[in-house]
């Protein structure tokens, strides 16, 4: 919400305030190129361009998170549909096999005979036990993994967004400070001597600059409150989650390698024949 509010303020109010920023920046000299050099010294980057770049960079982690979550939801939906289709195909195949066994006929010496009874006599009188996988447990596990990945990515994007907010806030302070002066003293080349340059609407620009400082500070506080709400322990677990998974996979592989490399000391055919 704060980001959208900032976009509206910069787009609507900022354009009217900074419309004549360079044209009304006047120095008391007629030396060619002196005005442009002094303007570049006073404003290394325009306020509006700086804030637009800040908004784009701050919104990038959130857009990445939205893209990631939508992609994971689509993958989960595709997996669910694929499991349903595979189950239906298996059921249809098993039904076809059972029907073919029941209706199967043979011709012996030119006489049509039904093999249903013979198959029943040949089969032993026992129950066939099949292990049916439980799809609910599988879907629950996959959903938990997906939720863990999404929550981890959300925490990471909040941390990156807060770091970007703090970085742009510090950069804005070192570039402009909290005040836009009405007059700049400039001695930059190609100015022959020190000249005085005047800024248009300095008070209005100062108010707008302080307002953007306040909005950035509110964004930083909200991000810290969000991280506090998520819990610092969860954040540490999310950051260390990938490392723990890699470590566990590495330990499992190291345990399996000695078992695979051990020779088989069981009886061979030659030893069995020797006892005979």
Q: Report whether pLDDT(222) > 70.
A: yes
Specify the number of domains making up the chain.
1
How high is the pLDDT of residue 17? 78
The structure tokens listed for 194 are: 């020190």
The structure tokens listed for 255 are: 């345990």
Specify if 94 maps to a domain: no
Specify if 118 maps to a domain: no
Specify if 148 maps to a domain: yes
Specify if 50 maps to a domain: yes
The model carries a pTM of: 0.60
> CA 254 → CA 250, 261, 263, distances in Å?
6, 11, 17
Q: How far apart are CA 147 and CA 168, in angstroms?
A: 31
Specify if 91 maps to a domain: no
Strands (E), the chain: 26-27, 105-108, 111-114, 183-186, 195-198
Across the chain, mean pLDDT equals: 70
Specify if 219 maps to a domain: yes
How high is the pLDDT of residue 26? 84
How high is the pLDDT of residue 275? 43
Specify if 119 maps to a domain: no
Question: Residue for token digits 């096999």?
Answer: 97
What are the phi and psi torsion angles at 25 (to 5°)? -85, 100
Model confidence pLDDT, tens digit, residues 104-134? 454 444 544 554 444 444 444 444 444 444 5
How high is the pLDDT of residue 167? 92
Query: How many whole angstroms from its chain centre is CA 126?
Result: 54
Model confidence pLDDT, tens digit, residues 33-91? 888 888 888 888 888 888 888 888 888 888 888 887 777 777 666 666 565 555 656 65
**b/e 14-32 (16+ beta carbons within 10 angstroms → b):** beebbeebeeebebebeee
How high is the pLDDT of residue 273? 45
Percent of the chain clearing pLDDT 70 (strictly above): 56
Which range is most confident: 7-21, 126-140, 149-163, 205-219? 205-219
Q: What residues form DSSP beta bridges with 133?
A: none
CATH number at residue 154: 1.20.1440.80
How high is the pLDDT of residue 97? 58
Specify if 114 maps to a domain: no
**Residue numbers of the domain that contains 52:** 2-20+46-83+134-181+208-244
Which range is most confident: 100-104, 119-123, 154-158? 154-158
Percent of the chain clearing pLDDT 90 (strictly above): 2
């Amino acid at each position: 919400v704060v980001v959208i509010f900032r976009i509206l303020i910069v787009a609507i109010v900022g354009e009217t305030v900074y419309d004549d920023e360079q044209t009304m920046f006047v120095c008391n000299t007629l030396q060619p190129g002196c005005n442009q050099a002094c303007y570049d010294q006073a404003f290394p980057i325009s306020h509006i361009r700086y804030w637009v770049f800040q908004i784009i960079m701050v919104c990038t982690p959130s857009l990445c998170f939205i893209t990631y979550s939508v992609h994971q939801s689509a993958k989960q939906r595709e997996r669910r549909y694929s499991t349903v289709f595979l189950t239906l195909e298996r059921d249809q195949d098993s039904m076809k096999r059972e029907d073919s066994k029941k209706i199967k006929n043979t011709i012996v010496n030119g006489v049509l005979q039904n093999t249903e009874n013979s198959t029943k006599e040949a089969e032993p009188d026992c129950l066939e036990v099949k292990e049916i996988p439980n799809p609910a447990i599988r879907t629950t596990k996959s959903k938990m993994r997906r939720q863990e990945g999404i929550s981890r990515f959300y925490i990471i994007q909040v941390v990156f967004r807060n770091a970007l907010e703090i970085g742009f806030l510090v950069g804005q302070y070192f570039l402009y400070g909290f005040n836009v002066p009405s007059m700049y003293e400039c001695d930059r080349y190609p100015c022959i001597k020190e000249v005085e340059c005047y800024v248009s609407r300095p008070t209005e620009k100062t108010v707008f600059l302080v307002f953007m400082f306040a909005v950035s500070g509110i964004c930083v506080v909200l991000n810290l409150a969000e991280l506090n709400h998520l819990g610092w322990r969860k954040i540490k677990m999310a950051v260390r989650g990938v490392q723990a998974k890699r470590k566990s996979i590495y330990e499992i592989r190291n345990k399996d390698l000695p078992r695979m490399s051990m020779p088989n000391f069981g009886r061979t055919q030659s030893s069995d024949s020797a006892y005979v």
